[in-house]
Amino acid sequence: MKRKMQTVRNPVTLINADGLILGRMASEVAKKLLNGEKVIIVNAEKAIISGKKNSKVAEAKEFLEVGAPMRGPFHYRRPDRIVRKTVRGMLPFKKPKGKTALKKLKVFISLPEDLKGQQIAPLKEAQAVKLRGPYFTLAELAKEIGWNQGE
């Protein structure tokens, strides 16, 4: 008796990073990825980083000096790559479970045409409305550390 393989369709979660705190959003996304969901993050450049802009930019520039260009670690300047690496840091990416989870993540700058009209899942835990102190967007940080929007 042969059994038919049942196809289990993994749900796709669409998240708009506009107005979400980067770290909190990344931890929620990492949990979803480890549970087997596919996650698409749009408007990555509008994610929020809390803290004073000057100190965070100085910290990022100091981090850029670490490593060698050919050997790594590789430092990204594009907002979508920064978000992806932030999520990767919250996954066990050196283990098979983490590698497969990371493959289910897609990050985009702005909203692609083919994703318009789809339902966007809200992340209430990561909203920046709770912040009392200074904050700025990921696009501002990326411009300060050398992001060319033409790429």
For residue 91, give its domain range.
36-144
Query: Where residue 114 sits, what CATH number does that domain have?
Result: 3.90.1180.10
Structural domain count, the chain: 1
Is 139 a domain residue?
Answer: yes
Q: Would residue 103 count as lying in a domain?
A: yes
Would you say 37 and 101 are in contact if contact means Cβ atoms under 8 Å apart?
Answer: no
pLDDT: is 75 or 26 the higher one? 26
The confidence score (pLDDT) of residue 4 equals 54
102 assigned to some structural domain: yes
Residue-level pLDDT at 2? 55
Mean pLDDT of the chain: 91
In angstroms, the CA 54 to CA 59 distance is 9
- Summarised one tens digit per residue, pLDDT across range 125-137 is 999 998 999 999 9
**68-107 tens-digit pLDDT:** 888 988 889 999 999 999 999 999 999 999 999 999 999 9
pLDDT of 140:
96
Q: Are 67 and 75 in contact (CB under 8 A)?
A: yes
